[in-house]
Amino acid sequence: MSALVDDYDVVLSDLDGVLYLGPVAVEGAVDAVRAVIGRGVRMGYITNNAARSPEVVAEHLTELGFGARPEDVISSPQAASDLLRRELPSGSKVLVAGTPYLVDEVRRAGMTVVETADDEPDAVIQGYDPDLAWPRLDEAAIAVQRGARWFATNPDLTRPGARGLVPGLGAMLYAVAVTTDQRPTIAGKPYPPLLESAIARTGARRPLFVGDRIDTDIMGAYAVGIDSLFVFTGAHGVRDLCEAPAQGRPTAIGWSLAALLQPRRVATQDAGGAACGAARVRVEGGQASIEADMTDRETQLDAAWALATLVWSGRAAADADTFARFDLLP
C-alpha cells in the first residue's frame, strides 16, 4: 500500500507540538521530515508566531536537525503583509503594534509605517511582541476609534512559556476590542490568509496540512479546502478529535509525522458499528464500546478513528469511560 504522503506534493506543518516540544524535537520527527523530502515532497513550516522571523525559525529548526531554509518558513506576519497588499493601496499609512520584524513586513508590503494615531493611519496592525508597552495599545485603540482599518497577525490567546502559559496576542487584541467595539481582520490560523500564503509561496497543487490542534490547525486547513493530518504529539487528544465540529475534522490521523510514511487509516461503518485496522467499535443504543487490544498505540489510533467516524455521523456518543481507555494517547 502507498504511503499517505504519496497523495500530496507539499506538506505544510505546524511547529510546536508537531515538529518540536519547546527546545526538543518530537521523537521521530526529524527522520520523518527527511524521508518526506527524500520522496520529492516539499516541506513548508507554518507558524502563527509573529515575534520570530523566518530566519530565526529556520535556524531553530536546523539546530534540531530539520535543515529548514528561511524560504521554507511561512509566518503570520508574512501572511499579514500579503493581506495588507491586497486590501490597501500602496503607500497607505499603517500603525504597527508589534516587533521590528512585523514593521519590516509591513514595509515590504509597500506601506508607510507611522508612529501615532495623530499621524492619521489608514490601518492598524497588531502582532505579538513580548516587549510591547501599553501606550502602543493606546495608540492602536485611538486609531481604530478614528476609523483606521484593523488587522492582526493571529488570534492566539495564550503562549506556552518556560514557567507556564502567558498572555498571547489574543489578549492584546481583546484590550483594543473592548475599547473600540471592533473586531480585527486576522491573518493567522484558523483564518485563511496564512495557509493561502503558504500554498502560494510553496507553489503547492496538492497540499496537506499537519497539526496537533483542532481549533487552529485542522479548522485552518478546512477553511482553505485542503486535507489535514491530525497528530497526537501536541495539545489535543481523542476527546478533541471526537468532539471536533464539522469544519474541524481531519482527513487523516496518526501518532506523529511518521504517519505520513504509513498507509492512510480507513474506517468502515456497518450496521453494528465501525472497524478500522485492528480495532472495532460497536454501537448499541447509541453508546459506543471498543473491541480491541488497547495496550498497543497503533490499535488505539485505529479505535480512535473508528470511534470518531461514528460520533461524527451521529450514530454514537462517547462518555468519559470510553475516552479513558485511550491511555496511550493524549
Q: Which residues are catalytic?
A: 14, 16
DSSP string, 41-86: PEEEEEE--SSS-HHHHHHHHHHTT----GGGEEEHHHHHHHHHHH
Q: Residue type for 151, please?
A: F
Q: Find out whether 60 and 89 touch, Cβ atoms under 8 Å.
A: no
Q: Label residue 324 exposed, middle or buried (CB < 10 Å: 0-12, 13-18, 19+).
A: exposed
> Regarding beta strands 123-126 and 93-97, do their DSSP bridges make them parallel or antiparallel, or are they unpaired?
parallel
Helix (H) or strand (E) holding 300: helix 297-312
Q: Find out whether 132 and 126 touch, Cβ atoms under 8 Å.
A: no
Single out the residue of 31, 72, 73, 27 nearest to residue 48, CA to CA: 73
CA distance 202 to 44: 7
Q: What is the dihedral of CA 152, 156, 162, 166, to 10 degrees?
A: 90
CA distance 177 to 12: 31
